[in-house]
Structure 1
Amino acid sequence: MAGGLIALLDDVAALAKIAGASVDDVAAAAGRAGTKAAGVVIDDAAVTPGYVVGLPPERELPIIWKITLGSLRNKLIIILPIALLLSAFAPWVITPLLMVGGAYLAFEAVEKIWHALKGDDHASEVLTITDPVELEQRQVSGAVRTDFILSAEIMAIALNEMGDLSLPMQAGALAAVGVAITIAVYGAVALIVKMDDVGLHLHQRPNATVSAIGTGMVKLMPILLTALSRIGTAAMLWVGGGIFLHGLEVFHLTTVPALVHDAAHAAGTVGGGALEWLVQALGSAVIGVVVGAIVTIAMHFVPKKKAH
């Protein structure tokens, strides 16, 4: 009896070790995937605050919460099962899908730059809607649609980092990435959109130092939103171009990727790892500009020419 109990305890201990190793593998894969998806995450956090423009302050957090639920639904209910099916039955599709997503990110960034150069103001169009319910529904649905594209790209990047993990472990890692990134992004967005309200509250306090901090927060808000928008655009070019370069390598079209890698390696021998990373990122961004410009021309100028 004692021997059987010891054997059972040994089996339990072995299973616990396997489970612990599995958890470690899932955590490691989720961490790698989260790092790879950082550029898309930055853009997601930069884009979303624009969807509360023109809405009452008391509705900002409820709307962010609705967008958060929509993002979780996108990732966990729609994209996650599709990603697992592709991983199990058509893994060869993942790289082309990543390249399409990278081209879309580059297109979005180039289109933002193009609209900025033309002086287009999309916020003014939103402010012409007078019905608050219609405005809120439009903003939430628009944010969730945009989130679907970014979420699909995040999950595809994450899936590409799963390596040889089993299907259940891939599911666990993808779910962990989806939930963690969603909480991080929309938690940050909630802090950003309420920063001016907090600053205004502090500004009204009698203490001069606290009041000055509040004034600084209010003045910082538009600068922060502008900086986030520009960082997000740069991140889209960098990530989109990098994904496209990786896809070219997978299909053995190595001429352009080799040029970027060689330039980055040469810079690294002179200035160290930081300079190597910077040159690699700039090279990826240049590819992003080229790809995004091609898609932008195809989307906007070619149809107009045919119509004319």
Structure 2
Amino acid sequence: MTTIDTRELRNAFGSFMTGVTVVTAVSESGEKVGFTANSFTSVSVDPPLLLVCPANNLSSFDIFNNCKHFAVNILAEDQQDISNTFASAKGDRFEGINWHSDDNGCPIIDGTVAHFSCSTYSNIPAGDHILLVGQISDFSANEKLGLGYAKGGYFSLGMEHRAEELTHSLDGVVGAIIEYDNKVLLTSTEQGYSLPQVASSSDQGSHKTIRNYLESQGLDCEMGSVYSVYENLDAQKFTTYYRANANNDTVNQSGVYIDIDKIADLNFVSSDIQSMLQRFVLEKQNGVFRLYVGDNKTGDIH
């Protein structure tokens, strides 16, 4: 029998892009619980069924294993903090977020893309998880875009679309913040450090443009999500930066990898790149990456 490397198996599973949900329930004593899950599947329309997979080591496993009702909340692209809270926080995870109860008392999180209120249809042990099938008794949905997850990181379809629209309609620059072993790839110039970047191509779109550029430089990278989309008022161009992860430390002539904790002491070619990397360092420490939209002076963090 072939030995399976469980870590590599998890990484392989993570290649499948999914949405992000928070599954909630309430115990017989009234305790409200929830956990973050991307193992969510629609099962049937008639009867209306869905499936989630609580892990056996979940702190609230006994409640979900014996619940008669539960709810599934599909998170919106601006609810990454809620995903992180229900994935790792201790104590009352519902404190500090807006929610209300459905007819069964299960928490429904406000601002989501959709929610489903369910009664337990079946509960099947499956290895280190259970297959919890719910029959939908009520649901709601709207036109928001959902929060995405793949390769161990979040992504936003809204921002991906925005970046592509700008690239196809306006001249600009597309670049990447490339990580490897807690380091970032930087290029050195007489004016200071910069990031790998190239003029955008309206024929290819921003994602394909930067991917092709990095490949042409001999860089083996896994492209991630959009990190910043802004108008550079000084250069009168739109700029898009993606996050990326390198598979090795080969740089050729592209620059040098510098420890993330040393970035704050460096000089950069422009204030927008400097402020973006300062934000990146802080978000790397906090484990929550956000999206910047605006210009090179002011904007919004999503």
TM-score w.r.t. length of structure 1: 0.30
Which structure has the higher relative contact order (CA within 8 Å, separation 6+)? Answer: 1
TM-score w.r.t. length of structure 2: 0.30
